[in-house]
Structures are given as C-alpha cells and as structure tokens.
Chains A and B, each alone.
Chain A
C-alpha cells in the first residue's frame, strides 16, 4: 500500500474523530433539571399552585393537598435545594385551608393567602400565612376578616399585595389591597348580580372546571383582577386607590381573559378563551378606563391547547431583549411554552413575532401552575403531574439559559 494513501486514511480518520465539535450547552446540575415530588401514599393528591426561588438558590413550592374530611384543600409546601432536590415539607392540615396562588415576598419572608375557620366557625376568612424557613413550619401572619373566600393573591410593586375574594353572603367579588406592613388598605367590591356559587365552589373544591381567577398590577400604579362582576367573569381595573376604572367583560364563565400582563399605556399581552377554544393575544390595545368586550379583542387561536383555560404569561428578558412567554396545558398532556419577541410585536403591529415553542412533561399529564424567572436567567415551571398516570404530585422543571435562548429562537 502506498504510504501517501495510508497517510490520507489516517488523516481522514483523525478528522472524523476529532473534527466534530459539539454544540451542547454545558449546564450545571442546577441549570436544568426535572423533579417530581412523589410519596408512596395511594390516597394522597397534591396540586401545584406556585413556585418561588429562595435566597439560597433553592425553590419553594406551594401546593394544595386534598383532604378526606373537607372539600377544601389543605396546604402543602415543599422546599428544595438549587438542584430541585427535596429538603423539607410542611403539611399543616388542621389550621389552613384552600391556599391560593401566589407566593408573596413580604416583610422578609414568603407568604401565601389561604382560608381559616372564622370567628363563627365558618371556613371563609382570608388569612396571610408565613413560611418559616428556619423552623420549617407555616404560621399565621395576619387575619383579614373582610376578605372572604380568597381566590387569588399577587405581589404589588410597593411591597404589598392584592387579594381577590368572594363574599358568598353578599354575592360580591372583592379586590383588597394589603400594604407592605400587612395592613388592610382598601377594598373594592363588585356585585355579581347572579348566583355564581356553583361555579366558584366547584373551583374552590377542585371539582370540574377551574376558573382563571387572577390579580395583577398596571405599570402606572393601577391594579386589575379577573373575577365575577356584573353577571360575568370579567377583568376589572382600578386606580392606585381602588377607584373603579374600566373592564373587559366576558361571557358568563364561558369566555373571558385567562391571563394578562400590562406592557405600557393601553398595550397588554393576554390570552382568552371562548368555551373550549384558547386564543393568544401577545399584543393587544384597549383602554382600561372604559368597558371593553372580550369579543372585540382578536387573537391567534391555538387549537393544540387543552380546553382548560390554564394559561400563564411572563415578561422575560433573554439576551437583553424582552420576550413574552406563555405557558399552557396542551392536548398532548404536556405544558407548552410559546415565546413572542416584544420588539417584533411593536414593529409589526402585534403580528409575526412568534419566535419559538417548547414543551415540558411527557405522557403522564402535566398541568401548569406557574412560570418564574430564575437567578441564572433561566426559567422554573411549577406543575401538577399524575405519576404513573394516576397519582397527582407536584413537579418542577428548570430550564437553562440556553433552553430559553433556544425558545426565543436565538
């Protein structure tokens, strides 16, 4: 064999072996993981509500535990390390009922809103519960007798929080503002004008359809909530002092907004549903000081989404640019994420800005609880899953910064 030929063969082989470079992102174990928090109890059922990243880089998961002796759920909190490994849990089943999303960081600790037995023995009073991470227990931080049947809570920019509630006796929805010192600041009430007990208590008891109750803040200091008002499930806007502004009126509880983020001025990013159809509106404009109708807000239909209106939207910076990330349950039992480029939305009048999609979960059915940004510029997704297709448990997905760049089409 000619020496030149032999040399060529060696060169080709060397190139084949060493010339191929890999473009796999070199992640640390805390950058990307999937964890399902299982136990062996056949009768246990848990449902995820929220997740927050703690100061040590770990995660706090808020969940609901189904109880045998009450249609209201119990509280379930899990603490993990930064790789999602289980550290401890708190299951205070006797004092607390029906925790609602979300965790609120107030007064140096994570809190959440739930219900407790009131002075008359009825379970309806809203309370603020504190997660004591050092003692690994849940404590009562404050009782709010004026908040009945809390449905959702969220943090406000001034360090306080909003609580959406439902007063069964008065048939009213209420939006309450709590200050950063946990004091009750104001409450705005909305007459429902129709008995919606069945829909609301089915939601509270986790029976049949879950409704997209939520609260949030406007960029300019106002607030909004999605709750029953004036016969329908509607988004109601208030100013910084709780004064009523405009609304987005839905159609009973069969068609309304399922998630909403204020971008600026009259620009919003939202999703809506109509019966079993889900629509994404990455950029829509309306005046929040007047009454709008959900039918007038057009969006892109996403037929791959499951009929349940569980949608979350997050404004996230990726590589210095702002993106809108939607998370929703898909018909294939996964959680699907969509990314929209805000700059392209503005440039193209709300169109042609869909830049990527990805899915988390597989086969065993996953339901979105919340998505949050993480310290490493990644994303955490809290979900409920059904282990073995049967046992409902909490799950946590951590997406790496590279995963997010890929989602954003970068």
Chain B
C-alpha cells in the first residue's frame, strides 16, 4: 500500500516536470515570436491554505485521550499572510493572447495549533500545554501563464492560466508554548516559551501546481499598472516524507513532525510593467528603445526618418 503511494507520487513528480519543461519550451518559442515584451516589477501579499492529507506525530497514545486537543487545528487561510516580490515578464503575441513569466520570491506562511493534557486520576494536579506552530516557506516561484487580454484601451481586463514551479529557498518554524500548570501551585497561563528553528531539510524542495489569475491593467504614460488576484493550487506534498523523522527534534512534543500537507495560495499583487516593443521599427527591424506600446505614431515617425 505504501509502495503504491510512493510510486504514485513519483509518477506525479515526473509528470509535473514534463509539464513544466513543455511550458518552458512553449514559452521560449513564443517569446521569440512575440511582438511586444513588457518587463516589470510585482509585489503584494498572499494567503496560504494548508490542508493536511495525512497526519503524523511522534507522540502516540496508549490510552484514548479525553479530548482531541492533540489533533492539529490548521488556521484559516486569511490568518496565514505572506508576501511576494518579483519580476513580471509578459510577451504579447497578439493584442489578445500572450505569455507571462513571473519569477517571484515569495514567503508562504501557515500555522496550526495542538495541545496535550495530563491529569491526575485523583486530586487536582494537571498540566495543559498548548502549542502554536507557524511555518514559513520561502520560495522562488516560477509561474508561466497564458495571458488573455480583453481590451486594447487604457483599461485592460485580463485572465491568466498556467502552472507554477516553486523552488524552496529556506523554511523555518516557530512554536509558541502556553502552559497551565495546576500541579506547581499556579493558576495562570504561562506564555512566551518560543522556539524558532530551521526546517528546510524537512520540506520538499519544490512546490508545483496549477495557477490562475485575473486582473485589470491601466495603461498610464510610460507604465502599465495592474492589480491582480492569483490563485495557486499546489499539487504535491510540501513536507518531505523521506526526512520526516530524520531530525532529532522530532522526538519532542513541541517540535514533532510535519503532516503531509498540500498548499493553496491566494495572491494579491500590484504589477508595474514597462513595455519594450519588438518589430515596430521601420523596414521590419526590431526596436529596442523603451516606448509606450500604444503610442504607435512615435514608431512610425522614427521609421520614416530612417
């Protein structure tokens, strides 16, 4: 059963790679044919939804616990805010269709809570411990989109669909502990025991999946500004199943091990494009000067001067 699952994952990995490779070569060939290129910067915030596909823990119970506090409660998507910043390269083949490649440095955050309780069978002695786990995953994102623009005026609604391949740069985890210790004469919750540790080796070094975006662009003088909402649907497990128990820290209840987790990420970005046109010069020669793409008269004048 396990072997089948592993084989299944390997198959998906291979398929994922082929898809991205194909996308790259489609992008390459299309770029070489593109009539207009826009280069720009993008940045914004993202919200991650983490879904455990299989739960793991170093701590197992030999008697059923009174409550399920040890089970992890993953936080809501809009509680998991991260940021992204990067480059946006758009190749417009026609006024309707183009490709967009947006290498970005992104931080995905997600968290969960769990807790443990020990109670005396007689008397009031008890210890309740709650752990607040937060994971930060820093990726270089390599999304490639097919871009469809629905207008050629100063305001351009657009839709992008494609895929992404993220390369993990580093990952860290912080755990905040809250204790209520009735055995040592205290009645107050004690907070502040926080650990922040690296977990890059416990995560898969990639994340890939499908992506889509909708946005609207505003053609301003010398710059095209876009507001964009994007959604990434991760198709692989972000935790590394092979290294899950390789860290000695996994033997402690406050660190423990990571679940198999899939990720969905919603991004809101501001994009500033600075267009560069190809093939607009006279006699079919490429023009490498910076121009505003819809200011066609300037190109014609330059072409006629030659």
A residues engaging B (CB < 8 A)? 1, 3, 6-7, 10, 13-14, 16-18, 20, 22, 24-30, 32-43, 78, 84-86, 89, 334, 359-364, 366, 385, 387-388, 390-391, 395, 397-398, 403
Q: How far is the CA of A39 from the CA of B32 in the complex (A)?
A: 65
With contacts A28-B3, A40-B66, A387-B59 taken as known, whether A362 is within 8 angstroms of B251 at the C-beta atoms is yes
**Across-interface contacts of A25 in B (CB, < 8 A):** 242
A25: nearest chain-B partner, CB-CB:
B242
Report 24 cross-chain contacts, Cβ distance below 8 Å, ordered by A residue: A6-B31, A13-B142, A17-B142, A20-B205, A24-B240, A24-B242, A25-B242, A34-B58, A36-B58, A38-B62, A40-B66, A40-B119, A42-B119, A42-B183, A43-B120, A334-B248, A362-B249, A362-B250, A363-B249, A363-B255, A364-B253, A388-B127, A390-B118, A395-B251
A14 touches B3 (CB 8 A): no
Distance A318 CA – B249 CA, assembled complex (angstroms): 26
**Across the interface, do A363 and B118 meet the contact criterion of CB distance under 8 Å?**
no
B126 contacts the other chain (CB 8 A) = yes
Asked if B60 is at the interface of the complex by the 8 Å CB criterion, the answer is yes
Docked CA distance A388–B118 (Å): 10
Q: Are B28 and A362 in touch, CB under 8 angstroms?
A: no
Measured CB to CB, the residues of B under 8 A from A are 2-3, 6, 17, 20-21, 24, 27-28, 31-32, 37, 58-63, 65-66, 116-121, 125-127, 129, 142, 165, 167, 183, 205, 240, 242-246, 248-253, 255, 257, 288
Indicate whether A361 sits within 8 Å of B242 (C-beta atoms), given known contacts A14-B21, A42-B119, A86-B60.
Answer: no
CB atoms of B125 and A42 under 8 A apart: yes
Question: Do A22 and B205 form a contact, CB below 8 Å, given A3-B32, A86-B61, A89-B62?
Answer: yes
Question: By the criterion CB–CB under 8 Å, are B167 and A37 in contact?
Answer: no
The A interface is mostly helix, strand or loop, or mixed, namely mixed
Query: Are A362 and B255 interface neighbours, CB within 8 A?
Result: yes
A363 is contacted by which of B2, B183, B252 (Cβ under 8 Å)? B252
Q: Are A361 and B248 in contact (CB under 8 A)?
A: yes
Do the beta carbons of A385 and B251 come within 8 Å of each other?
A: yes
Do residues A41 and B119 form an inter-chain contact, with CB atoms below 8 A? yes
**Given contacts A24-B242, A32-B245, A42-B126, A10 and B61 within 8 Å (CB-CB):** no
Whether A390 pairs with B253 at a CB distance below 8 angstroms is no
Q: How far is the CA of A30 from the CA of B59 in the complex (A)?
A: 16
Complex CA distance for A68 and B120, rounded to whole angstroms:
13
Task: Take A7-B28, A40-B65 as given contacts and tell me if A397 and B251 are in contact as well, using a CB distance cutoff of 8 Å.
Answer: yes
Chain B hits for A41, CB < 8 A: 63, 118-121
A17 to B140: give the CA distance in the assembly, Å.
Answer: 10
Chain B residue at minimal CB-CB distance from A14: B24
On whether A361 and B118 interact (CB within 8 A), knowing A28-B3, A86-B61, the answer reads no
Most chain B CB within a 10 A radius of its CB, from A16, A18, A40, A84: A40
- Given contacts A13-B142, A85-B60, whether A390 and B251 have CB atoms under 8 Å apart is no
Those 4 A-B pairs whose CB atoms lie nearest each other, nearest first: A42-B120, A362-B248, A42-B118, A39-B63
Q: Give the residue name and chain of the B residue nearest to A36 (CB).
A: B59
Say which residue of B24, B28, B117 sits within 8 Å of A40 (CB atoms).
B117
Query: Would B142 and A32 count as touching, CB distance under 8 A?
Result: no
For residue A358, give the distance in angstroms from its CB to the closest CB of chain B: 9
Contact B245 A33 (CB under 8 A): yes
Minimal beta-carbon separation of A223 from chain B (angstroms): 36
**Contact A366–B24 (Cβ < 8 Å):** no
- Chain B residues lying within 8 Å of A85, measured Cβ to Cβ, are 60
Q: How far is the CB of B237 from chain A (nearest CB, A)?
A: 14
Taking a contact as CB atoms under 8 Å apart, the answer to whether B127 and A361 are in contact is: no
Q: A18 and B252: CB pair below 8 A?
A: no
Q: Are B6 and A37 in contact (CB under 8 A)?
A: no
Is A40's CB under 8 angstroms from B118's CB? yes
Q: In the complex the two chains form, is A26's CB within 8 Å of B245's CB?
A: no
Given A10-B24, A40-B66, A86-B61: A17 in contact with B242 (beta carbons within 8 A): no
Distance to closest chain B CB from A85 (angstroms):
6
Interfacial chain B residues near A359, Cβ < 8 Å: 248
Q: How far is the CB of B52 from chain A (nearest CB, A)?
A: 16
**Nearest Cβ in chain A — how far from B209, in angstroms?**
15
Which B residues lie within 8 Å of A22 (CB)? 205
Question: Beyond A6-B32, A7-B28, A24-B240, is A37–B126 a contact (Cβ under 8 Å)?
Answer: no
**A36 engages B60 (CB within 8 Å):** yes
Complex: A385 Cα to B63 Cα, angstroms: 18
CA distance A364 to B244 in the complex (A): 19
Contact of A34 among B24, B183, B205, B251 (CB under 8 A): B251
* In the bound complex, CA of A388 to CA of B59 (Å): 11
The interface residues of chain B lying within 8 Å CB-to-CB of A360 are 248, 251
Q: B253–A43 contact, CB under 8 A?
A: no
Chain B residues with CB under 8 A of A34: 58, 245, 250-251, 257
Contacts known (A34-B58, A42-B125, A89-B62); A391 close to B118, Cβ less than 8 A = yes
Known: A34-B251, A36-B59, A359-B248. 6 other contacts (CB 8 A): A13-B142, A35-B59, A36-B58, A40-B119, A41-B118, A385-B251
A360-B205 Cα distance, complex, nearest whole Å: 24
* Cα distance, A364 to B21, chains bound together (Å): 47
Q: Within the complex, what minimum Cβ distance (angstroms) separates B233 from chain A?
A: 19
Q: Which residue of A lies closest to B119 (CB)?
A: A42
Least Cβ distance of A17 to chain B in Å? 6
A397: B residues at CB distance < 8 A: 251
With the chains together, A39 CA to B37 CA distance in Å? 63
Instruction: Give the Cβ gap from A333 to chain B, nearest Cβ, in Å.
Output: 10
Do the beta carbons of A36 and B251 come within 8 Å of each other? yes
